[in-house]
C-alpha cells in the first residue's frame, strides 16, 4: 500500500500537504522532509525526487502559498462583507484575520528567513499575487471613494501591508498591546484601512 501511495504522489499534492502542516505552526522549521513524509505516509527518500532538501521544500511551499493566501483572503473578505463591513475594510480585515489565525503561513510568507537561492518561480508567484491584490484594492477604493486618484494604490497597499506585518509580528511574538485575538484583528484592521485610504487619496 505504501508503494502504491508513493506512485500516486505528485508535486501539487505534496505542497498541499506541506501547507496544511505549516498553517498553524509558529516555527516553520518544524516542517522537513521526514515530517512531511510521515504525514503523507511515504518514505522521506521519495520526496527527494521533488526537493533537494528542506530549504527547497520551503521555497516551493512559499511560492505555492501565494495564490492560496489570495483565495483565502477573498473567502474571508466575502464573509466580512456579509457581516456588514464595507469592501475595503473587509479586505484589510480578512488579511489581518488570516495572518493572525494562520501563523505558519504568515511566518513562511513574511518573517522567517529562507536559505538558499530564491527560485524564479517564487518571484513570479509573489508578483502575480501582488498584482491581483492591488487590483482588488483599486476596485474597492473606486467603489468607496469614486473621486479618489488611483495612481497611488500600489504604494498605499505596500505601506498598509508593512504596517500589518509589523502589527501581526508583534502579536505572534507576544509583544502585543491587545491579547484577545478578535479584538486585536478588529483594531489592527481598522487602523490599516484608515491608513490605506489616507495614503491612497493623498494629492
Note the pLDDT tens digit of each residue in 116-173: 999 999 999 999 998 888 888 888 777 777 766 656 788 888 899 999 999 999 999 9
| Residue 119 · residue 125 · CB < 8 Å | no
Q: Kindly state the percentage of the chain with pLDDT values over 70.
A: 93
* Domain assignment of residue 154, given as a range: 2-200
The pLDDT value recorded for residue 198 is 87
The pLDDT value recorded for residue 188 is 96
Backbone angles phi, psi at 147, to 5 degrees: -90, 5
User: Lowest-confidence range among 97-101, 117-121, 143-147, 194-198?
Assistant: 143-147
Task: State how many domains the chain has.
Answer: 1
Radius of gyration of the chain (CA): 19
Cell representation of residue 192: 490599516
- Indicate which CATH number applies to the domain containing 127: 1.10.357.10
Residue 5 has pLDDT above 90, yes or no: no
User: Lowest-confidence range among 8-17, 134-143, 185-194?
Assistant: 134-143
Number of H helices and number of E strands within the chain?
10, 0
Residues ≥6 apart with Cβ < 8 Å to 109: 62, 65, 66, 69
19-29 pLDDT per residue, tens: 999 999 999 99
Q: Which region, left, alpha or beta, applies to residue 85 given φ > 0 means left and ψ of -120 to 50 means alpha? A: beta
Closest CA to 42 of 6, 12, 13: 6
The pLDDT value recorded for residue 203 is 65
Amino acid at each position: 500500500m505504501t508503494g502504491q501511495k508513493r506512485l500516486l504522489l505528485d508535486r501539487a499534492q505534496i505542497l498541499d500537504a506541506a501547507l496544511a502542516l505549516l498553517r498553524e505552526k509558529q516555527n516553520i522549521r518544524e516542517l522537513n522532509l521526514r515530517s512531511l513524509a510521515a504525514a503523507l505516509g511515504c518514505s522521506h527518500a521519495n520526496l527527494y525526487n521533488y526537493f533537494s532538501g528542506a530549504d527547497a521544500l520551503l521555497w516551493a511551499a512559499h511560492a505555492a502559498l501565494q495564490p492560496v493566501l489570495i483565495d483565502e483572503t477573498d473567502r474571508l473578505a466575502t464573509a466580512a462583507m456579509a457581516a456588514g463591513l464595507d469592501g475595503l475594510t473587509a479586505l484589510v480585515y480578512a488579511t489581518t484575520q488570516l495572518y493572525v489565525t494562520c501563523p505558519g503561513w504568515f511566518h513562511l510568507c513574511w518573517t522567517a528567513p529562507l536559505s538558499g537561492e530564491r527560485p524564479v518561480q517564487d518571484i513570479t508567484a509573489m508578483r502575480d499575487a501582488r498584482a491581483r491584490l492591488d487590483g482588488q484594492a483599486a476596485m474597492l477604493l473606486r467603489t468607496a471613494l469614486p473621486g479618489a486618484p488611483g495612481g497611488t494604490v500600489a504604494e498605499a497597499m505596500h505601506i498598509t501591508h508593512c504596517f500589518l506585518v509589523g502589527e501581526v509580528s508583534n502579536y505572534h511574538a507576544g509583544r502585543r498591546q491587545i491579547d484577545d485575538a478578535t479584538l486585536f484583528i478588529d483594531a489592527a484592521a481598522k487602523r490599516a484601512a484608515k491608513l490605506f485610504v489616507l495614503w491612497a487619496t493623498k494629492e
